[in-house]
Amino acid sequence: FATHNAHTAAAILHMADGRDRFEFQRLHGMGEQLFRLLRAQEEIRCRIYAPVGAHRDLLAYLVRRLLENGANSSFVNQLVDQEVTPEQIAADPFDQLPAQPSTAIRSGSALFLPQRRNSRGFDLDHRPTLDGIDAARSPFRDHRWQAGPLVAARDHYRGTPLERRNPALPDDSLGSVRQADANDIEVALTAATAWEAAPEARARILQRAAELYEAHFGELFALLAREAGKSLPDAVAELREAVDFLRYYAANVTAGMPVGLFACISPWNFPLAIFSGQIAAALAAGNGVLAKPAEQTPLIAWRAVQLLHAAGVPVQVLQLLPGEGDVGATLTRDPRIGGVAFTGSTETARAIRRAMAGSLAPGAPLIAETGGLNAMIVDSTALPEQAVGAVIESAFQSAGQRCSALRCLYLQEDIAESFQRMLFGAMDQFSLGDPWLVNSDCGPLIDREALRAIVAYIAEAETEGRLLKRLPAPQAGTFLGPTVIKVAGIETLQREVFGPVLHLATFRADELAQVIERINATGYGLTFALQTRIDDRVQTVCERINAGNIYVNRNQIGAIVGSQPFGGSGLSGTGPKAGGPHYLERFQRHPAVPTGPTEAAAGAPAPGDLQALIALAGTRRSGAAISLPGPTGESNRMRMAARAPLLCLGPGAAVAAQQAELVRSLGGVAVEYGVSSPAGVLTGISGYSGVLWWGGEAHARVLEMTLAATDGPLLPLITGRPDSGHLFSERHVCVDTTASGGNTELLSGMPPAGGMR
């Protein structure tokens, strides 16, 4: 028994039968007097434990010991504190803990109170919990679901049932789905209505839906494993995220003006969480929703919509249209759709933007969350064991099928060889197999098409001599062993490889600034991670990197709703961040009433060089960071970084001035350039983040088509008041504050007690 606590030692001696079948241990230089007395009085054995090793190995260990033994609650600390009485020191800590709960540290369920209750957690290291999960999902091990569109005023569908199979076990048939046809889509659009219920009623129904999700965890875990290839930890995280979305948006329901009808187009890699999050946000804002799930995971979406309907969401307000890409294409070209929420590839987002520009009302919002070329930098001060764990989780969890996943790892040359050995050794412990099984670390790729594409990519790298490591994979199903490929840098990656493929590059200590420049030059800006124990480096890198979500000394996946709002900028998305305080704004209308001259009387074209005016406008400093709730040992802070200028085109100088004044009053950067006709104004122009136009639809359509045709980030046309997401890009930084040795917040926040080491 390793302890310096007299109460612990006394309890052990009281319970022990004899003295010859156990021993105590103490650290060299600590507990000397205690064990001198015990040896004299009780004839116990005590082994002195002296840590020995190199500086790089011992430093973190010694810091942890210092933090633990220096904590207010530590027995060793209290023993030398003259203000602590012997009675307090000798008190039983288990008697004191319930009597003195920490007011500084919240329990898991109360983490987000008073706004909302946290989602239910599942301890997968707890045997009774695992038994409960098995009991709940076992009825669905061989269950077959029969799914199809869920459309108001229709209960019969003509489509041919398409069989759904388990990507891990091709012989496992989950059931079938009937896809929506053109007639189903038309019926749904005709029947669709906005949700006119009072905000309080909408919130109650979304809360009820969250309860139903949790009550049906067994069926949902089974579906996530069998249809989406989710391991049990991933299934737990996905259900919790979906529940968190429902409760978070329910808690943020407002009485604003809805857009009308929203098309929600979701991906297969988070078929429950993102699907539910898009829908919950649109419903919370009072919109009607036509949900188009990914063609690979329609059964999960179908069951989720059933639960939302059971909670009280009217069928005409929420309708499900499963199918292939043509269903989404039809929705994004229909003028009855008021806005689109999309998560998927950047290329598909561009196609949606072009379709919307030609058919939907000018200014219809597109909320797009797209991919990224996400990097992690590991410097020579990082704790290797911790960094290796973060790399494994970031690159290979969920078979690398996350938009947040690590794609390019930069190792400082000084540690590259030893770190690589440790990384490859950790990879060898990775287990691939049926995601239903608890001992499976990694499930399959989603389908054969994805597998073929990545296998071909790896084969090319192997031919070029750049394949460093590849794990074997089961022959059945669509499994792919985690793979590491050598690259010169992130600039050599032509596209995102959406699977368990990690690209590895090295850098010299004096090249850190250039590495950051190369990462930023990709144009993506989703997630980034830094492993270091130098505080100045953390601050410098976080200020310079262009990423929506930055993680320090931890993995870069698994953003928590309300704690780590998720979303990128540039080629990685439009914003605002999902699960953040500004997301619902984009699902509502913000009409503007111009007070300037009419378009016909707008006057002469604006003078001056528009590109020069953009350059002169510059940017504003980012706003102060705000702290967001989270668990102890973790810091979550978000700041609003000013976007590039918004072009205020009027029509006319007076309206443009009004627009610019509004933008500046909200903290943004504006360029006034009032014109009577916007035709050709944007030709060859760059360096702006969006356009304000409060004129007629014909000219607005010209602007929409022009913006949709531009390369680079997706730029909005704003036909009303801009929301905060038009003016600012949200930047979130999550820091594992325990990485420097211990959880100082936890140790200092606990009340004094006769605690254990």
Give me the DSSP letters along 200-253: HHHHHHHHHHHHHHHHTHHHHHHHHHHHH---HHHHHHHHHHHHHHHHHHHHT-
The count of structural domains within the chain is 4
Written as six digits, the tokens of 237 are 């995280």
Please report whether residue 591 resides in a domain. Answer: yes
Please report whether residue 114 resides in a domain. Answer: no
Residue (of 167, 707, 732, 59) closest to 474 by Cα position: 167
Please report whether residue 748 resides in a domain. Answer: no
Please report whether residue 1 resides in a domain. Answer: no
Give the model's pLDDT for residue 755.
34
The Cα 530–Cα 61 span in angstroms is 21
Both 596 and 546 in one domain: the answer is: no
Both 301 and 391 in one domain: the answer is: no
The torsion angles phi and psi of 316, rounded to 5 degrees, stand at -75, -15
Both 463 and 525 in one domain: the answer is: yes
Largest CA distance in the chain: 102
Tell me the C-alpha to C-alpha distance, in Å, between residue 164 and each of 145, 475, 484, 721.
9, 20, 32, 45
Please report whether residue 487 resides in a domain. Answer: yes
The Cα 404–Cα 397 span in angstroms is 11
Both 566 and 625 in one domain: the answer is: no
Both 336 and 385 in one domain: the answer is: no
Exposed/middle/buried for 272, CB within 10 Å: 0-12, 13-18, 19+?
buried
Q: Give the sheet arrangement for strand 501-507, strand by strand.
A: 467-470, 483-486, 501-507, 408-412, 375-378, 527-531, 549-552, 728-736, 634-642, 626-627
Both 286 and 399 in one domain: the answer is: no
Both 219 and 354 in one domain: the answer is: yes
Give the model's pLDDT for residue 741.
60
Please report whether residue 134 resides in a domain. Answer: no
DSSP 296-348: T-HHHHHHHHHHHHHHT--TTTEEE---SHHHHHHHHT-TT--EEEEES-HHH
pTM value is 0.90
Both 165 and 22 in one domain: the answer is: no
Residues across the chain: 757
> Whole domain around residue 655: which residue ranges?
586-729
Please report whether residue 116 resides in a domain. Answer: no
Both 220 and 317 in one domain: the answer is: yes
Both 205 and 268 in one domain: the answer is: yes
The Cα 383–Cα 156 span in angstroms is 60
CA angle 549–554–559, rounded 5-degree value: 40
Which amino acid belongs to residue 2?
A: A
| pLDDT tens profile 178-213 | 999 999 999 999 999 999 999 999 999 999 999 999
Give the model's pLDDT for residue 746.
63
- CA atoms within a 13 Å half-sphere pointing along the CA-CB vector of 182: 1
CATH, residue 310: 3.40.605.10
User: Pairing mode, if any, of strands 670-672 and 646-648?
Assistant: parallel
Are 530 and 550 within 8 A, CB to CB?
Answer: yes
Both 597 and 639 in one domain: the answer is: yes
Give the model's pLDDT for residue 594.
76
Give the model's pLDDT for residue 98.
67
Give the residue numbers annotated as catalytic, written as ranges. Answer: 369, 403
Residue (of 2, 143, 5, 21) closest to 756 by Cα position: 5
Orientation of helix 298-311 relative to helix 217-228, angle to 10°: 160
Both 365 and 380 in one domain: the answer is: no
| Distance from the Cα of residue 630 to its chain's centroid | 14
Please report whether residue 735 resides in a domain. Answer: no
Give the model's pLDDT for residue 678.
93
| pLDDT tens profile 207-248 | 999 999 999 999 999 999 999 999 999 999 999 999 999 999
Domain boundary pick from 318, 336, 369: 369
Domain boundary pick from 351, 369, 387: 369
Domain boundary pick from 525, 541, 572: 572
Burial 127-136 (b: 16+ CB within 10 A, else e): eeeeeebeeb
Query: Alpha-carbon torsion 331, 337, 341, 347, what sign?
Result: positive
Weakly modelled stretches of the chain, pLDDT under 70: 56, 70-72, 96-104, 596-608, 740-757
